[in-house]
Amino acid sequence: HSPKDTLLLYSLSLSLHFLCPAMATELESSLIFALLSKCSVLSQTHLVFSLLAVSIVWLAISLFFWTYPGGPAWGKFLFRRLKPGMTKTGTVIPGPRGFPFVGSMSLMSSTLAHRRIADAAEKFGAKRLMAFSLGETRVIVTCNPDVAKEILNSPVFADRPVKESAYSLMFNRAIGFAPHGVYWRTLRRIASNHLFSPKQIKGAQTQRRVIASQMVGFLEKQSINNGLCFVREVLKTGSLNNMMCSVFGQEYELDQDHGELRELVEKGYDLLGTLNWTDHLPWLSEFDPQRIRSRCST
C-alpha cells in the first residue's frame, strides 16, 4: 500500500470511532490493522504527514460536535441519532457550548456551581431545561418543579453517573452509587426492612433525642463563651455521632476529641465531592491529573 492508502485507513478508523462507534467493532479494528500491516514501510516524512492529517480530521470532527447547543457531548449524541436521510427535527434544548473537548467543565469547578448554572440558564433563556457537556458526559438541569417531578419519576434517570472515587472508597457496593438493577433493588429492600423500618426508627428514638440534646447544649455553650455558633461543624459532628451509633454502636460526646475519625470522614467527603475530570474525559484516566485514584487507594 502507498502512504496515501495508509493515511486513508488511519482516517477511516478514526472516523468510525468518532462518528459511529457501534460500527467500530473489534472485527473491523482487526481488519484495519491487518491492512496496515501489509503497507510498505513509511518514511519519517510520510509518517509525520499521516499523523498530522489524522489530527486535523480528529480536530475537525470535535469542532463539528462542539457547534451543537449544549456542547460536544450533546453534539456527538445528536449526530449519532440521525439516520441516513434524516434531518434535524424536534426541539433543541438550549445551553452553553463551553469549550471544545472539555465542554462546560468551568461551570462545575467552583463551590458556587449552582449559581453559575443558574446564571447560564438565565443567559440562554432555559426556563424548563438546560443542556451542557462535562467532557463526554451529557448533563441537563431544571428549575421547573413539573419537569423535575417528571425526571425524578422516570426510569431513564434511575442510574447514577459513574464516579471512580465512589467505587474506590465504597468497594463498588454503596447503595447511593449502585447502578439501577437487581443489586440496587436488593440493597433498597434490605435498608427498608432493617434500617428504616418503623420498629428500627422507634428503637433509635432515644439515641436521636440524646444527640439532638447534645447539639443544642453545645450551641448554647458556644454562644455563651464567644457569641459565635459554628452550626455546620455541630451538624457534622451530630451526623457522625448518629452514624457511628447506628452502624457500630459507638457513642461520642460532641465535645469529645475524635479528630482522626473526623479527618478520615472529611477526606472521604472531599474525594466524593470533587469533580473528577477522568470521570468525564476517559482519555485522561491513565494520567490521574487530580490524584483522585491515588488518594483513594491510600
pLDDT at 139: 93
pLDDT at 23: 43
pLDDT at 150: 92
Helices 44-66 and 72-81 meet at what angle, rounded to 10? 90
Residues comprising the chain, all counted: 298
Q: 250-268: string of b/e by CB count within 10 Å (b at 16+)?
A: eebebeeebeeeeeebeee
100 within 8 A of 53, measured Cβ to Cβ: no
pLDDT < 50: residue spans in the chain: 2, 4, 18-28, 85-86
φ, ψ of residue 130 in degrees (nearest 5): -130, 140
pLDDT at 27: 44
The DSSP string of the chain is --HHHHHHHHHHHHHHHHH-TTT--HHHHHHHHHHHHTSPPPPHHHHHHHHHHHHHHHHHHHHHHHTSTT-HHHHHHHHHHPPTT----SPPPP----BTTTBSGGGTSSTTHHHHHHHHHHHTT-SS-EEEEETTEEEEE---HHHHHHHHT-GGG-SPPP-HHHHHHTTT--TTTPPTTHHHHHHHHHHHHHTSSHHHHHHTHHHHHHHHHHHHHHHHHHHHHTS---HHHHHHHHHHHHHHHHHH-----TTS--HHHHHHHHHHHHHHHS--HHHH-GGGTTT-TT-HHHHHH-
pLDDT at 38: 55
Answer yes or no: pTM beyond 0.75. Answer: no
Q: CA–CA separation, 37 vs 14, rounded Å? A: 17
pLDDT in tens, 56-66: 888 888 888 89
Q: CA–CA separation, 278 vs 54, rounded Å? A: 24
- The Cα diameter of the chain in Å comes to 85
Q: CA–CA separation, 107 vs 133, rounded Å? A: 10
Amino acid at 157: F
Neighbours of 282 (CB within 10 A): 10
pLDDT at 157: 86
pLDDT at 145: 92
pLDDT at 43: 59
Amino acid at 103: G
Which residue matches cell numbers 467527603? Answer: 269
Q: How far from 67 is each of 73, 75, 78, CA to CA, in Å?
A: 11, 7, 11
Which residue matches cell numbers 455563651? Answer: 224
